[in-house]
């Protein structure tokens, strides 16, 4: 399989612009120029940091992304940001369907499908998030939740477009909670997701799709989480705000 290993940082709504530029600069110094392009490092910043951070990382092999985008092309949508605008900053990526967008901003599967299409049409690659809440895992319906999120939010894409999608499995109970999924729980769900991709598309597509784990991943637990055969890296929230911590996580991805 040719799938790429990726560590993506999600800064969420943190850091002033100057602080963000400083963090990006520190990470760049620590990781250096990344000649081996088989391990991708992506910083997903707030919109207002994106041009500056993209300029700082330009030529480094590291990528940048937004954390959300509009499902619309342009127009009278005060406060919204389109996928084309994101691309114009030099960014290559956008996170779609993060659990905070789903829960706090009421984004449903149909809207996330439209956003994913808008992003891909504009030329961005997508990190598409899925994952169950605690109550769903306790009831044993976590596989059904993830199946629905992917079927309704993503698998309507034609195969050609799906090739530019990375999936992030983020159990909601593990996000920002300090509780990670066990390596076995992560691997079990990642394997299930790969099977769903094979059913929706085909085996080669499934084998070539990068599937990230997210949820309280830090340098002390990253290596054991990434050891899973179907775990191709991580989406990192809190731990992406400290350069040493984030770079140690990058270093633990083999």
Closest CA to 96 of 51, 128, 59: 128
Of the candidates 107, 132, 136, 170, the residue annotated as catalytic is 170
State the catalytic residue, choosing from 98, 100, 107, 142.
98
What residue ranges bind ligand PEP (CB under 6 A)? 10, 170, 175-176, 214-217, 235-239
Residue nearest to ligand PEP (CB): 237
Cβ-proximal residues to 44 (8 Å cutoff; 6+ apart), any chain: 8, 9, 10, 11, 64, 65, 66, 67, 93, 94, 95, 127
| Active-site annotation holds for 98 | yes
Name which of 53 and 225 has its Cβ closer to ligand PEP: 225
Q: Which is nearer to ligand PEP, 8 or 206 (CB)?
A: 8
Distance of closest approach, residue 195 Cβ to ligand PEP, in angstroms: 23
Q: Nearest approach, Cβ of 220 to ligand PEP (angstroms)? A: 13
Report in angstroms how near the CB of residue 35 gets to ligand PEP at its nearest: 28
Distances from the Cα of 14 to the Cαs of 34, 44, 51, 83, 242, in angstroms?
A: 26, 11, 16, 21, 12
- The C-alpha atoms of residue 101 and residue 187 are separated, in whole angstroms, by 25
For ligand PEP, the closer CB: 233 or 237: 237
Q: Which is nearer to ligand PEP, 153 or 206 (CB)?
A: 153
Which H or E run includes 7? strand 5-10
Short-list 176, 3, 15, 197, CA closest to 103: 176
Active site residues: 98, 170
């Amino acid at each position: 399989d040719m799938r790429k290993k990726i560590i993506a940082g999600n800064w969420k709504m943190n850091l002033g612009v100057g602080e963000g530029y400083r963090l990006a600069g520190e990470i760049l110094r620590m990781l250096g120029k990344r000649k081996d392009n088989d391990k991708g490092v992506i910083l997903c910043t707030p919109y207002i940091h994106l041009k500056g951070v993209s300029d700082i990382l330009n030529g480094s092999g590291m990528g940048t992304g937004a954390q959300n985008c509009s499902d619309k092309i342009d127009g009278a949508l005060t406060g919204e940001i389109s996928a084309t605008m994101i691309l114009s900053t030099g960014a290559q990526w956008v996170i779609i369907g993060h659990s905070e967008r789903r829960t706090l901003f009421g984004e449903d599967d149909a809207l996330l499908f439209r956003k994913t299409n808008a992003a891909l049409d504009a030329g961005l690659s997508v990190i598409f998030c899925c994952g169950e809440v605690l109550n769903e895992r306790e009831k044993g319906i976590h596989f059904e939740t993830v199946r629905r999120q992917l079927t309704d939010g993503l698998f309507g894409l034609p195969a050609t477009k799906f090739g530019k999608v990375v999936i992030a499995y983020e159990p909601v109970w593990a996000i920002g909670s300090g509780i990670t999924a066990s390596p076995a729980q992560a691997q079990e769900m990642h394997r299930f997701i790969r099977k769903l991709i094979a059913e929706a598309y085909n085996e080669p597509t499934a084998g070539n799709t990068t599937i990230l784990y997210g949820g309280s991943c830090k340098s002390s637990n990253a290596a054991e989480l990434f050891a899973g055969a179907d775990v191709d890296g991580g989406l990192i929230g809190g731990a992406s705000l400290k350069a040493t911590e984030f770079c140690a996580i990058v270093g633990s991805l083999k």
